Copies of this chain bind each other. A is one copy, B any other.
Amino acid sequence: MDIASLLGIASGIFLIVGAIFLGGDIHNFINIPGLMIVGGGSLATTLLTFQFRDVFAAFKAAYFVFSKEKEDPNEAVAIMISLCQISRRQGLLELSKIETDSGFLKKACGLIADGSSNDVIRNALITEIESLKMRHFIVQDVFRKMGIYSPAFGMLGTLIGLVQMLSNLQEPSQIGPAMATALLTTFYGSLMSTMFFLPIAGKLKARTILEVINLEIMLEGSISILDNNNPVILYEKLSSFISARLRKPMKEMVGR
């Protein structure tokens, strides 16, 4: 579990709930129809905007991004160096037998082993990266759109409440509580957008950037294995993708 995210969600909720408790009765902040308009309306409009499959994929991605460890680019560099060494000792054909979870790396190895040309490999892998980016963009977009729709439904709920209140002004003592209830949907909408949807969209975007770097390391590594197959040059090229501060020396990677 991502520790910063857990801390972020927990402290955010704590601060908001704390502020409500300090000011008085928390029941004033619970309004089931309001929650349904904002939550349900945002979800309904999101279903209208996207395909069912994309919305489902987005929620799954949001779950994984908080539960799964992110991959270290040093790891990807180390894998490419060991592939380089295998192919030097045992020939490029050996790469077709590599066992890996990554479909991308498997495809790269298969293409090298099949004797595909430099250009074919580069084009196929770039297409893979581009279509992954596009799919991830849609997943992020689901949350970004929810972050736009939820305050809009909050405002719609408040407008409904205001119109109802203003149409029946007979009891002035009811104006205050009625307005409080009307404002609640705006509160719900902003809270959902600011504390959940927008940060999750941001997190998914950041994770995509990291994943794409790993894939680019594998792409450049594969081309390099095909071209000259020298572990030192490979390391020099691939390590450029990693911040100098986080970069591991080659020795650590080869020694494995």
Contacts and interface: CB of A to CB of B under 8 A. Distances in A.
Nearest to A176: B169
A50 B9 CA distance: 12
B28 A203 contact: no
18 contacts: A4-B50, A8-B45, A11-B40, A12-B41, A16-B37, A16-B160, A45-B195, A45-B199, A48-B195, A54-B206, A124-B240, A138-B209, A145-B202, A159-B190, A163-B183, A165-B176, A167-B180, A169-B173
A8 to B, nearest CB: 3
B49 A199 contact: yes
Q: Majority SS of interface residues in chain A?
A: helix
Interface string A44-55: 111111111011
Contacts of A145: 202
Contacts of A135: 243
B28 A15 contact: no
A55 to B, nearest CB: 7
A23 to B, nearest CB: 4
Copies of this protein, total: 5
A34 B199 CA distance: 22
Contacts of A152: 190, 193-194
A59 interface: no
Nearest to A4: B52
A231 interface: no
Instruction: Among A46, A184, A186, A195, find the residue whose CB has the most chain B CB atoms closer than 10 A.
Output: A195
Contacts of A161: 23
A77 B49 CA distance: 27
Contacts of A40: 11-12, 15
A5 B209 CA distance: 31
A166 B176 contact: yes
Nearest to A186: B159
Given A4-B55, A29-B160, A152-B193, 18 more contacts: A4-B47, A8-B45, A15-B44, A16-B37, A16-B41, A18-B33, A19-B33, A19-B37, A28-B163, A49-B203, A50-B202, A107-B240, A131-B242, A131-B243, A155-B190, A156-B194, A159-B186, A159-B187
